[in-house]
Chains A and B, each alone.
Chain A
Amino acid sequence: MEEKIISKENLLKLCSDLLKNNVDVITPGEKGYVKIKSENEVGLNSKAKHTKASFKEYIFPKSEPIIYYKKNQNEVEIIEPKVEEKTTVIFGAKPCDIRSINILSKIFNWDYKDEFFNVRAKNTVLIGLMCEYADEFCFCTSVNLSPTSTNGSDIFLLPLDENSFAVRIVTEKGTNFLKAYENYLTPGNPEKSKEVEAGVKQPEKVFDAEKVKEWITGNFENEYWNTIGKMCLGCAQCAFVCPVCHCFDIVDEDYNYYEGRRMKNWDGCQFDMFTKHASGHNPRNDQSKRYRQRISHKFKYYPDKFNEILCTGCGRCSRGCPVSVDIKGIVSEIYSKC
Chain B
Amino acid sequence: MDDVKKIAKELLTSGKVDAVIGYIRYGNDKRTKPFIAQKPEEVENFVINKYILNNLAVYLTRKEVTKLGKIGIIAKGCDVKSIVALIQESQIKREDVYIIGVNCSGVAQDYDIEFSAETIAGKCLSCEVRTPKLFDITIGTIEDIPQGEDKKLKVIRQVEAMKPEERWDFFEEEFDKCIKCYACRQACPLCYCEQCIVDKSIPRWIESSATKRGNFSWNLIRAFHLSGRCIGCNECERVCPMDIPLSLLNRKMAMITKDDFNYVSGMDVNTPTLIGSFDLKDNEDFIE
* Other-chain residue from B27, B62, B207 in contact with A253 (beta carbon distance below 8 A): B207
User: B210 touching A63 by the CB < 8 A rule?
Assistant: yes
User: A251 touching B208 by the CB < 8 A rule?
Assistant: yes
Query: In the complex, A239 Cα to B180 Cα: how many Å?
Result: 11
Also in contact, A265 and B208, with CB within 8 A (given A230-B65, A237-B239, A288-B64): yes
The bracket for how many chain A residues form the interface is: 35 or more
0/1 string, A136-158, CB within 8 A of B gives 1: 10000000000000000000000
Give chain B nearest CB distance to A132 CB in angstroms: 18
Q: Please choose the segment from A102-110, A189-197, A292-300, A316-324 that sits at the chain B interface, where 4 or more of its residues have CB less than 8 A away.
A: A316-324
Query: In the complex, A32 Cα to B179 Cα: how many Å?
Result: 13
Give chain A nearest CB distance to B273 CB in angstroms: 24
User: A265 touching B209 by the CB < 8 A rule?
Assistant: yes
User: A231 touching B241 by the CB < 8 A rule?
Assistant: no
**Is A271's CB within 8 Å of the partner chain B?**
yes
Query: In the complex, A285 Cα to B196 Cα: how many Å?
Result: 16
User: B28 touching A249 by the CB < 8 A rule?
Assistant: no
Also in contact, A324 and B187, with CB within 8 A (given A240-B241, A249-B208, A251-B208): no
User: A235 touching B181 by the CB < 8 A rule?
Assistant: yes
Among B171-190, those with CB < 8 Å from A are: 179-183, 185-187
Among A49-96, those with CB < 8 Å from B are: 52-53, 57, 62-63
Chain B residues with CB below 8 A from A271, complex form: 182
> How would you classify the secondary structure of chain B's contact residues: helix, strand, loop or mixed?
mixed
User: A286 touching B64 by the CB < 8 A rule?
Assistant: yes
Number of interface residues of B (CB under 8 A): 38
Chain A residues with CB below 8 A from B54, complex form: 322-323
User: A263 touching B209 by the CB < 8 A rule?
Assistant: yes
Also in contact, A231 and B36, with CB within 8 A (given A63-B209, A63-B210, A136-B28): yes
Chain B residues with CB below 8 A from A251, complex form: 201, 204, 207-209
Chain B residues with CB below 8 A from A240, complex form: 179-181, 241
Chain A residues with CB below 8 A from B180, complex form: 62, 236, 240, 265-266
**Is B153's CB within 8 Å of the partner chain A?**
no
Query: In the complex, A287 Cα to B66 Cα: how many Å?
Result: 13
**Is A338's CB within 8 Å of the partner chain B?**
no
User: A324 touching B182 by the CB < 8 A rule?
Assistant: no
Give chain B nearest CB distance to A134 CB in angstroms: 13
Query: In the complex, A273 Cα to B198 Cα: how many Å?
Result: 11
**Is B33's CB within 8 Å of the partner chain A?**
yes
Chain B residues with CB below 8 A from A28, complex form: none
Chain A residues with CB below 8 A from B28, complex form: 136
User: A231 touching B35 by the CB < 8 A rule?
Assistant: yes
Chain A residues with CB below 8 A from B211, complex form: 63, 263
**Is A241's CB within 8 Å of the partner chain B?**
yes
Query: In the complex, A5 Cα to B199 Cα: how many Å?
Result: 53
Among B226-278, those with CB < 8 Å from A are: 235, 238-239, 241-243
Query: In the complex, A271 Cα to B181 Cα: how many Å?
Result: 9
* Other-chain residue from B214, B235, B241 in contact with A63 (beta carbon distance below 8 A): B214
Query: In the complex, A62 Cα to B207 Cα: how many Å?
Result: 13
Query: In the complex, A62 Cα to B176 Cα: how many Å?
Result: 11
**Is B34's CB within 8 Å of the partner chain A?**
yes
* Other-chain residue from B26, B65, B179, B204 in contact with A324 (beta carbon distance below 8 A): B26
**Is B108's CB within 8 Å of the partner chain A?**
no
Also in contact, A241 and B241, with CB within 8 A (given A231-B34, A271-B182, A273-B199): yes
Among A22-49, those with CB < 8 Å from B are: 31-32
Chain A residues with CB below 8 A from B63, complex form: 286
* Other-chain residue from B26, B64, B185, B214 in contact with A229 (beta carbon distance below 8 A): B64
User: A324 touching B183 by the CB < 8 A rule?
Assistant: no
**Is B68's CB within 8 Å of the partner chain A?**
yes
Give the nearest-CB partner of B185 in chain A.
A235
Q: Residues of A at under 8 Å CB distance from B? A: 31-32, 52-53, 57, 62-63, 136, 226, 229-231, 233-237, 239-241, 249, 251, 253, 263, 265-266, 268, 271, 273, 286-288, 320, 322-324, 326
Residue pairs across A and B with Cβ atoms less than 8 A apart, 22 shown, are A53-B242, A62-B180, A230-B62, A230-B68, A231-B36, A233-B186, A234-B186, A235-B185, A235-B186, A236-B181, A236-B182, A236-B183, A237-B181, A241-B181, A251-B209, A265-B180, A265-B209, A271-B182, A322-B235, A323-B33, A324-B26, A324-B31
List of 3 A-B pairs having minimum Cβ-Cβ separation, nearest first: A324-B33, A235-B186, A322-B239
Given A136-B28, A323-B34, output 12 extra A-B contacts at Cβ < 8 Å: A52-B243, A53-B242, A57-B179, A231-B34, A234-B186, A235-B181, A236-B180, A273-B199, A288-B64, A323-B187, A324-B26, A326-B33
